[in-house]
């Protein structure tokens, strides 16, 4: 009998997806105090694909 895949991707698998990499970079910048949570939330709400550039993190 085969294994049923999990309904969500594992953290390691997410890192290979564009959203996962961006999210990880945003998380690191937030934890490092480079940006505020409000700034990250606004950038994601406006255009998540450009959030890093909007926050000058690229």
pLDDT one-digit tens code per residue, 28-46:
999 999 999 999 999 999 9
26 occurs within a structural domain: yes
Residue 57's contacts (CB-CB under 8 Å, 6 or more residues apart) are 25, 26, 29, 34, 35
Domains in the chain, number: 1
The residue segments making up the domain with residue 42 are: 16-54
Return the DSSP state at 33.
Answer: T
In a domain, 1, yes or no: no
Confidence band for 58, pLDDT divided at 50, 70 and 90: confident
Residue 2 falls within a domain, yes or no? Answer: no
User: Which has more pLDDT, 3 or 36?
Assistant: 36
Q: For residue 39, is it within any domain?
A: yes
- Give domain status of residue 3, yes or no: no
Residue 33 forms part of a structural domain:
yes
Task: Please indicate, yes or no, whether the overall pTM of this predicted structure exceeds 0.85.
Answer: no
9 assigned to some structural domain: no
């Amino acid at each position: 009998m085969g294994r049923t895949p999990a309904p969500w991707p594992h953290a390691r698998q997410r890192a290979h997806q564009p959203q996962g990499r961006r999210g990880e970079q945003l998380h690191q910048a937030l934890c490092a105090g480079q940006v505020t949570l409000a700034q990250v939330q606004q950038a994601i709400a406006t255009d998540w694909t450009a959030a890093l550039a909007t926050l000058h993190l690229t």
